[in-house]
Each structure stands twice: as structure tokens, then as C-alpha cells.
Structure 1
Amino acid sequence: MSPITEFYTGKTVLVTGATGYMGKVLLEKLVRSFPDIKKIYILIRSKKGCTPQERVKQLTNGIIFTFHNVNEKAYDKIEAISGDFMMENLNLSEIDKEKLIEEVSIVFHVAASIRMNLPLKEAVITNTTSTYQLFKLCMNMKILQAFVHVSTAFCNVEIDYMEEKIYPMDVDPYKIMDLVKWMDEKSLVAITKKLLGPHPNTYTFTKRLTELIAKDMGDKIPIIITRPSIVMPSLREPIAGWVDSFNGPVSLFYAFGKGILRIGLIDDKSVPQMIPVDVAINTLIVSGYERATNVYSPSVLNVTIGNVTTPTWSDYFTRCEDYNWEHPFKLVLWYPKVTYTKSYYLYMIHMILFHIIPALVIDFIMIIFLQKPFLTAIQKRLLQTFNVLQHFTLNKWSFDNTNCIQLNEKLDDNDKKMFPMLAHLQGIEFENYNINNCKTSAKYLFKEHSENYSIYKLRNKILYLLDLLIKLCFIYVVLRWVLGKYF
């Protein structure tokens, strides 16, 4: 038995955010890798008429929990604790609160709203106040050995080189939590930009506030802060390329594959700080073990690629383009091709001419034929996505991830195989990683299983020639208009 497996044997764990992307991967990994774990409590609220217990059943019936044929009885160890992060004291009953205080040894706090355009009040309550309330609960836990808090590598956006430490801030997190309680929404909106300072959105702002509170709690709770960068589809587990949502850059890659995205507000030469979800989850699990067994464990880990591998934005899109030409989607709007610009004005001109206007025309035709319009809404969502992500697609950061690398080096050979972390990315085959991402998403996100690609490849070639013809006609019309007397 490996040291980490032995450590988690007989332990009771609390997981927040278990219904989210990272939370599902964490839950599946805990159940599969630690068959002798005692209990996994997940904090979950009622939703759409389903009780927390019913939601647990729905969760464990999901595809992610079927890949490895784990004994169904293993999932009996997962137990719902009814709670709500938007409510005072997490809306926990006294019985559940006492249960957690008496039994929990390890807490994985993954829950957060990753929506970057949330109003300040909602973001503070969801990401900061709720974590503070969880901290206060954990202060009473009798056998707590580790609290693994999931932050973000981008919580200090004004710093070009981010070390593994907590940076000071000009605002007081406790005053911000108090402010959103009594100030009306209109006044909050008016002062939000000033409060955010260098932060491009309320997500990174509230994550940084939470880190400051975690620092204050450091002498009361055994906290370790993990900072994943942009979480992407899995490298290996639960299967290669696993993803279950269109969040963040994932939506851009697949809008591109469908021919919907033609222009990107991106510095194509910069390196996107992306981390496979299973690498991030393995780091969380190892961090819990390290914090519990080593009093001198690091307090912060930047879970980033660092200088390990350096594919650029252009590399990602090029590999996706190559794959989508060879394995085209069944349903596309146009052939896969994207151009890049760092100029917001050029981006908007291109969006209006080649995205929004064609979308309006196509939707108008759909309405005439009594069909439901859809393309304008998709283009609006793409525009919103770039408005949110442009700070991360245009700027460059570098990260110190020494603590993560040293933590991996300390593991014995068995644990290195079971919980591969950053050092194992040294040998990553970037092209294979991208292919697995495209292949798995096509199957599980788009539900496309076709292997008959020849007709779709022919369709894409026809679309390419049609695109070329339209551009030549456009150039001809412009030249005729400008130089009419010479034609």
C-alpha cells in the first residue's frame, strides 16, 4: 500500500463543489483510488425539486462514474450534506454540523462560481463569504488534518511573475463582505470598478480576497492553498480528453471546429497557462496528504505548467484545425479556420462583417421558413466570451511552481504512478493531447459517433472553395466601386 493510499484509508472527507467539473473528477478519483476511505460527505443543496440525496444519485449515475467499472457499493460511501453557500451559516442543520465537526479529517473546498461577469454582491457571497463561513465551521472540527482550498493562479493579475505566496491587497476582505450586506445593488455597481482595481472581473477579485482570509486563518486551521491555472480536459483520467462543459477556452476550440468562430482576440504567440483537470486533481489529493503529514508543508502551490511545456495559442488552434479537417463534425456552419488579432478594433470590424451580419441574415431566412433562429444568439455568446477572456488571451504571465515540483519529487514510485503531477508533463505528447480532447468532446459533448468522414471532408472542401469565391467577388465589387471608370 502506498503512503498516500494508507493515509486516506479510514478517513472521512468533505468535498464542496462536487457537482462541478473539477468536483466530479475529484470525487471519482477519491472513490476509485481509495477503496478503503471511510466516508465522503459532499455539501450540496436541493435543486429543481430534487433533494440532496437524489442529486447524489444523479451525480453518481453520470458517465464519468462508469468508465472504470467501480463497484457500485463504493458509491454508498458518498453521503449528501444539505447546505447552501448563498445562505447564512451555509444553511446547515445542527445535526449535519455536528456530524462534520466530529468526523471530518480532510476538507477539499472546490466550490466557487467561475462566472467572471457575476455582480459583485453575488460573487463576494459565493466565493468569499461562504468560504469564510466554512473556515469558521472547520475551526471546530475535532480531528481536522488538512483544508485544501482551491483558488486560481490568476488571483494576482497585476503581477507578471507570480510566486507561491499570498500577496497583500489594498482592500480589507472583511469590510468588503460587510459592504455587500448592506449596500444596495445600484450603489455597488457604481463602485465595483474602483473596488476591483487591477482585477478584470469579480472572480479573480473575490478569489484574492479569500486568500487573504485564508492567511488569517492559517494559525487556526491546517490550510493549504492550491492555485490551478486554466483547467482543461484531462490528460489521462478518468479517460484521456474528458470534459463535460463548454466553459472557458473549451468553447472557443469547439466553436472553431464547428466553423462558427472565424476571428480570435488572441495573442497567438503567447503561451496559455492551461492545466489538465486530472493533473490539478492529483495535486489537490497529494496536497491534502502533505499538509496533514508535514508540519512544514508549503502554504501555497501554483498548479501551473510553469516552464514545463510551451504550446502557444496558435499551436492549440493549429492542432485542432488539422484534426477537424481529418475528422470533421457532422454538422458545421463553415469549414474550420480562424485568424488572430491583438487589436480590439480589428476584431470588432471582423466580428461585425463576418460574424454578426451573416448571423442576422441566416436567422432572418430561418424565420421566413418558420424555423427557430439560433446563430445570432451563438455569436452574441462568443462576443461575450471574448470580452470576458481577453485579459487572459492577450496578456502574458509566468509562474513559479517550485513547491508543486518538489512535492511530486517527494512521492514514492507507486504514488507517482497513481497521482501524476507536474513533473509528468515533461513527456506530454502535445499533439496526442489535443487529438484526445477533440475526439472525446465530439463523443460526449456533441454526441457525434460517425466514422464516415469522407463525405464531410468533401463538404468542407466545397465550403472552402465557396469561401474563396465569395471573397474574390467581394474584392471585385469593392474594386469596381472604387475604380469604377477603369472596369
Structure 2
Amino acid sequence: MYCVYLNLLYCHRLLGLFPNTYTFTKLLAEQIISEKSNRSNHNNNMPMVIFRPSIVISSITEPVVGWIDNVNGPIGLMVATGKGVTLVTLAHKYSTPDLMPVDVSIKGMILAAYHRGTHNSPSDSPLTVYNSSSVKMSITNNKLTQFAVKYFRLHPFDEILWRPRLYCTSSKRLFKILVIIQQVLPAILIDFLLETTGKPQKIKLVQLQQKIFSAMMSLSFFTLQTWTFKNTKFLNLFTHVPDAEKDDFYFNLDEVENKAEQAKNRLEKSIDLAGSNFNNI
């Protein structure tokens, strides 16, 4: 017990103002890359780039439309909402999460490596940072939650706990109170009833609520704020695609018509795929 407490204390001291270990270790990795890319150090003259994906969501086209391999992030929240497990979320209604399709990010990553490899003369910039960001294509948390609730009421899952609904609040105090009343206490009661009737559970609802609560508190640093990144360098990558590869790699965010409808279709396909994975939790 003492060792656990000591580790938590060290972790808190190391993180400082960083919200979690994920962001802290990413900074450390970028510092190492920056040092190794310094051309004044002839022993480490390796071509490098820094590629920063935003919140990665389901694919637009590849490998298939709406592909996703996990229930993390906004898709996971939607599935939990559809199942009636999550009724409250901690987020600012009018903040815009920066969502980026996974296949676009991967294409950008490959192009960034290609461009760096073909532009590696001493006169070139030693290190380029690419922000894989959607910027103007993002939608607010409020619209995202409204879409989720509307979709699941029209297309409900086979097995749900409660009728899908989702209340979005930016108050941590109110969030904790509502989670206890609307999610934790009912979960305790349902776990008790299932245990007394001898029905098996893969995971207790209380434990699931603990996981969801911890995840939302960890993400609150991001969901309660709006983050805007310049993605000019990232978009410029797609202008350097060789003619022979344009069918496979070219993508221009400005040429996407009816962005909201396309985003809706992607999320619908992702939700259906992720729902089957959620049943296994």
C-alpha cells in the first residue's frame, strides 16, 4: 500500500500541470525527436518529423467505410449512451472536439515520412511538425450528444439498460452528483438483484461505472475546452502526392460536400460496428 501511495505521489510531482501521463510522455518523446534531429549533431543526422493526430475516429473509406477497432473516444461514449449505461457526460456544450478520421491521419503520416525522405538536404528545415487536425469540420459536443440520442432512439440496440438519453454539463460537482444518483445507485441495485437471482455477469455494472467515471474525469481537461490547431502543413502534404498515387492518397477537406451528413453516416456505421464489441465487455 505504501509503494502504491509513493508511486502516485511521484507521478503527481512529475506531471505538474499536465493532465495525464499520456500528454506528458508525448512531450518527452517530442523533445527527444527534436534533439536527435538537430543537424549540428552530425552523429544523429536522421530525417525526422513530428506528426500529431487529433482525436482519431472511424474511417471515411479505408479499409471500409466507418471502420473502427475499439470503443474508445466519442464512439465509445455513443455506444455507452445507446446501451443506457451512460446518462451524464462531463463536457462543455459548445466546445468542439477535434475529430479526425483514422484513414486520413494514416495517409498523412505516410506522406509526411515520404516528403521528409525526399527533402533531406542540409538547407531543408531540420524538423517539421504536422497537426493532423480537422479544424473547421468539427462539431460541438452538444450536437454530437444530440445526434447520439436521436440515432439510438431510432435504431436501438437489442439489449439496453435504460432508454437512451444524455445530459451534458460542464460542472464537475453537478456531474458527480448526477452520476451517483442516475448511474451508480441504480447500478448497485441491479448488481444486487442479478446476484440474488443467480444470473451471471461478465462485469458488474458498478465496476463499469467506475471505469466510465475515471475516463470522463481524465478527459475533462480536453472536453471542457476548445482546442484549435493550425493544420496548414498537414493539408499541404496532400498537394505533394505523385500523380500515380493520387487515387490512393489524395484527400482535400475543402472538397468534401455536405460534411455534416458524411460525418453522420460515418458515425452511424462506426456505432453499429462498435456496439457488437461493447457486448463483450
TM-score by length of 2: 0.86
Equivalent of 1:226 in 48, 51, 69: 51
Give the corresponding residue for 1:302. 131
How far residue 302 of structure 1 moved from its aligned partner, in angstroms, is: 0.6
Percent of aligned pairs sharing the same letter: 32
Native 8 Å contact 1:280 1:421 kept in 2: no
The amino acid of 1:264's aligned partner reads T
Native 8 Å contact 1:234 1:279 kept in 2: yes
Matches within 5 A, 1:279-298: 279-295=104-120, 296=124
The amino acid of 2:163's aligned partner reads Y
1:319-355 deviation line (CA, Å, top 9, x unaligned): 2222212211111111211011110110011011110
Which is higher, the Rg of structure 1 or of structure 2?
1
The amino acid of 2:116's aligned partner reads R
TM-score by length of 1: 0.51
Native 8 Å contact 2:75 2:274 kept in 1: no
1:113-144 deviation line (CA, Å, top 9, x unaligned): xxxxxxxxxxxxxxxxxxxxxxxxxxxxxxxx
**SS at structure 2 position matched to 1:299:** strand
Equivalent of 1:368 in 196, 199, 209: 196
Rate the CA distance shift 1:185–1:443 in 2: closer, same or farther, 3 A.
Answer: closer
Task: Say whether residues 1:256 and 2:86 are aligned partners.
Answer: no
Give the corresponding residue for 1:399. 229
Native 8 Å contact 1:248 1:385 kept in 2: no
Native 8 Å contact 1:305 1:422 kept in 2: no
Task: Say whether residues 1:377 and 2:192 are aligned partners.
Answer: no
Give the corresponding residue for 1:386. 216
Question: Which whole-Å CA distance do the structure 2 matches of 1:315 and 1:221 have between them?
Answer: 44
Give the corresponding residue for 2:164. 336
How far residue 422 of structure 1 moved from its aligned partner, in angstroms, is: 5.5
How far residue 222 of structure 1 moved from its aligned partner, in angstroms, is: 0.6
1:72-119 deviation line (CA, Å, top 9, x unaligned): xxxxxxxxxxxxxxxxxxxxxxxxxxxxxxxxxxxxxxxxxxxxxxxx
Rate the CA distance shift 1:272–1:444 in 2: closer, same or farther, 3 A.
Answer: closer
The amino acid of 2:35's aligned partner reads D
Task: Say whether residues 1:199 and 2:21 are aligned partners.
Answer: no
Question: Which whole-Å CA distance do the structure 2 matches of 1:229 and 1:447 have between them?
Answer: 23
How far residue 213 of structure 1 moved from its aligned partner, in angstroms, is: 0.7
Give the corresponding residue for 1:244. 69
Native 8 Å contact 1:279 1:422 kept in 2: no
Which has the higher relative contact order, 1 or 2, with Cα contacts under 8 A spaced 6 or more apart?
2
Rate the CA distance shift 1:439–1:309 in 2: closer, same or farther, 3 A.
Answer: closer
Question: Tell me, which stretches of 5 or more residues in structure 2 are unaligned?
Answer: 40-44
Equivalent of 2:90 in 265, 271, 279: 265
How far residue 415 of structure 1 moved from its aligned partner, in angstroms, is: 3.6
How far residue 188 of structure 1 moved from its aligned partner, in angstroms, is: 4.5
**SS at structure 2 position matched to 1:359:** helix
Q: Please identify runs of 4+ aligned residues in structure 1 that moved more than 6 A.
A: none
Native 8 Å contact 2:68 2:273 kept in 1: no
1:226-279 deviation line (CA, Å, top 9, x unaligned): 000111111211111111111233221110111111111011211001111001
